[in-house]
Structure 1
Amino acid sequence: MHESIITGLQKLKIAVEYKPDLTPDELPEQLEGINILVVRSKVRIDQSLLMNADDLEIVCRAGAGIDNLDTDLLEEKGIEIINAPEGNRDAVAEHTLALMLSLLNYIPKSDIEVRKSIWDREGNRGFELKNRTIGLIGYGYMGRAVARKLQPFKPEILAYDKYLPKIDDDFAKKVTLEELQQNADVVSLHIPLTDETRNMVDDDFFNKFRNKILFINTARGEISNFKSLVNAFENKKVWGMGLDVLPVEKLDKLTSEEKDLFDKLTKMPNTLFTPHVAGWTFESYEKISEVIVEKIALVLNKN
């Protein structure tokens, strides 16, 4: 955690115990008498962890995604859930644009070729965002931030969000998933990982696109799977992918089948990978902590 979260909580007269080195096995016994718990993505909040947490009132996820929290259990126990998508939405949006622009302009390919003394201007002629139709799947904090940062480039922006009744800004046009699949030629995911979205991006998902797309995922890797990502290339449904997340991110733990598919994916043309860092900038590291403190203050004042 950024140090600002400690000073911020202390200003609220909250006693802070900062224990970043606790193992998952050690954590449950440390929760006796604790009122507020702040965790990052690696800590799974479930029944076994909460067995000694009778005094717990608030669980904070220092980041955006809450797929590591058993939200049903927490709600059943009356424990408030706080997350901080406001803290890293700009970081995610900028990273998303970086992946788009890099791939649309063949920058990874060009860089590799020039280092090999290959000077191929025609083979690396790029595309401008202004002439693209961008499809955003998910229009919460992240999707909206991407749409806002795309405005100077003037592309057409379509947004599909199953749980958003309407879009109350002028950045994007609300469409159905079917409309997005019929018209988009760049697609970017900004949805949480839930039981509903796990493996949502499968062969059927890709096959419904009319255009050959550029696919960007800075959301959660488990929304798709290695096989479908590879098939999308082999079936000519995508021409490029920018992936900040993978279906399995512990690369040393891949099964032999997953390893074969991952190796195949890395050899596909116009692919660009980053290690789940889209929302992890120096600035977002601090802003996430500030948002958590602000929201804790609001909950305490409400109570």
Structure 2
Amino acid sequence: MKILIADSMHPSLFTMLDERGWKFDYHPEYNRQEIKFELPYFDGLIIRSKTYLDREMLPEPGKLKFIARAGAGLDLIDLEVARELGIEVFHAGTGNRDAVAEHVLGMLLGLFNNILKADREVRNGVWNREGNRGVELMGKTVGLIGYGNNGSATARRLSGFGCKVLAYDKYRDNYGDDFAEESTLERIVNEADIMSLHIPLTEASRSWINEDFINGFKKPFYLVNLSRGEIVKLADVVNGLKSGKIKGACLDVLENEKINKLTPSQQESFDYLKSSDKVVLTPHIGGWTHESYVRINEVLVQQISEWL
């Protein structure tokens, strides 16, 4: 078996592949056209987020047997075309779930306790205790949209803070557990103090969190997004923050993450978000820890081994 690795990967992957006697070529520098040209000569492809794998990219049925995505989301792979061509698809859904869950808590605690704002002020010689009085996470009702690997790992951690956790997942049944109560979306909209997104990007979820969705909440709430930026319309989040319907936002992902190449309307939204003390921003690092970098490789290699 011969595998093309076309994205930057932690070197632990190479040892794992060598131990199993699998040959590989490592070319993180390959662009879209180079990947397309080389794919027919390989049994497998390991990739992170370099390019969209659609019909144009994937070879005709035959040589390529599998695609392994070093991450949780599969929105960069046309799964229908892969099935049609008989290509198995793997992803490391469990590889970074703990990192994502911890990042959710970190962002919420940072926002609720004004940690970033207070840090900036103290560094500038401002000692403002009353202006940085915090809000406790304990006792809040948290609505998790999506209860797969990331959602369930987040619920487990929230349980230690005395939160009431409601989980809604349209793709699952009977998924309530010790850490979250299975819920309808309507109940989350009516009861949640915090809404956290843990869903894939699909045509149905694209721009789902918009003005109508936001205004449908019964009370002002905090928004957390560590899933995909395109699910949330940032202009509508800005309007929600201005109106008070959104009390604060933790955003690890944005509609356009090339922040030096924003459209004028995107730039206007981003300028507001980056200047607001009600917003915590991070550069899509929710699952990006040193530990998850290795664990993702372990999960992928184990999946491929079991499949073989």
TM-score, length basis structure 2: 0.94
Aligned equivalents of 2:138 and 2:247: distance in 1?
19
Aligned equivalents of 1:168 and 1:189: distance in 2?
17
Q: Which residue of 2 aligns with 1:223?
A: 231
Q: 10, 13, 26: which one pairs with 1:18?
A: 26
Q: Which residue of 2 aligns with 1:132?
A: 140
Aligned equivalents of 1:257 and 1:270: distance in 2?
20
Secondary structure (helix, strand or coil) at the match of 1:86 reads coil
Q: Which residue of 2 aligns with 1:37?
A: 45
Aligned pair count? 300
Contact 1:61 1:84 in 2 (8 A): yes
CA offsets 1:235-290 (integer angstroms, 9 cap, x no match): 21111111110010001221112111211222233211100011111110000001
How far off is 1:134 after superposition? 1.0
Contact 2:61 2:85 in 1 (8 A): no
Secondary structure (helix, strand or coil) at the match of 1:130 reads coil
Question: RMSD value over aligned CA atoms?
Answer: 1.3
Secondary structure (helix, strand or coil) at the match of 1:91 reads helix
Aligned equivalents of 1:190 and 1:180: distance in 2?
14
Contact 2:61 2:86 in 1 (8 A): no
Contact 1:102 1:108 in 2 (8 A): yes
Aligned equivalents of 2:177 and 2:106: distance in 1?
23
Secondary structure (helix, strand or coil) at the match of 1:60 reads strand
CA offsets 1:60-117 (integer angstroms, 9 cap, x no match): 1000001000011001111111000111000000001000111111112222222333
2:77 is the alignment partner of 1:72: no
Contact 1:31 1:53 in 2 (8 A): no
2:153 is the alignment partner of 1:145: yes
Q: Which residue of 2 aligns with 1:102?
A: 110
Contact 1:34 1:53 in 2 (8 A): no
Contact 2:248 2:278 in 1 (8 A): yes
How far off is 1:9 after superposition? 2.0
Q: Which residue of 2 aligns with 1:265?
A: 273
2:263 is the alignment partner of 1:250: no
Q: Which residue of 1 aligns with 2:6?
A: none
Higher relative contact order (CA 8 A, sep 6+): 1
Q: State the identity as a percent.
A: 44
Secondary structure (helix, strand or coil) at the match of 1:285 reads helix
Contact 1:108 1:270 in 2 (8 A): no
Contact 1:185 1:212 in 2 (8 A): yes
Contact 1:63 1:88 in 2 (8 A): yes
Q: 62, 70, 73: which one pairs with 1:62?
A: 70
Q: 173, 189, 206: which one pairs with 2:214?
A: 206
CA offsets 1:204-231 (integer angstroms, 9 cap, x no match): 1110112211111111100012211111
Q: Which residue of 2 aligns with 1:166?
A: 174
Contact 1:29 1:52 in 2 (8 A): no
Structure 1's consecutive aligned runs of 4 or more residues displaced over 6 angstroms after TM superposition are none
Q: 101, 117, 124: which one pairs with 2:125?
A: 117
- The letter for the 1-side match of 2:282 is T
Aligned equivalents of 1:280 and 1:84: distance in 2?
13
Aligned equivalents of 1:168 and 1:176: distance in 2?
12
TM-score, length basis structure 1: 0.95
Q: Which runs of 5+ in 1 are unaligned?
A: none
